[in-house]
Amino acid sequence: MKKVLLKKLQSLTAILVLNTVPVSFAQASNISYEAEVLQARVLVDDKRNALKSVHYQKDTLKQLYFDNSLTYIQKHSKKAATYQHQVALALVEEAYQDDYDTLLDQYELELENVTDANGRMTAKNRVKEQLQDLKVMRGTKIAEFDRQFGIT
């Protein structure tokens, strides 16, 4: 749960930094102070209007997670040839991360309810098996998409 909260806080911090800084430090000497204030005010007003809608926030956060996964795939995958293949791999990665986080949250809840060492070991072993199953399913999906896109 702490990891999920930390990940969300890091994402929100990055969003806030990127959206409230109107210009980069390299460009700061070319723009007057009034222009920076005006740009910052416009960005703040836009964000204030956007924050009124909770639905907008959820979509934006999901989109940011997907964009981060897609960027990671584009930078680190040597076999993803087409954009469609990269999107498919990013979707698999997002689904894997969601399931992984859910499984860890369930494990934390179970640990809070279990008091004996035997129950903790049982929960730990079951979670390890489920994590292994998730990894296998992820690998299977990636291999399936590789075959569909003709990548070996």
* pTM for this prediction: 0.56
Distances (CA, A) of 15 to 19, 130, 146: 6, 33, 33
Mean pLDDT, each 10-residue run in order, the chain (152 residues): 58 52 45 46 58 60 83 79 86 92 92 88 93 95 89 76
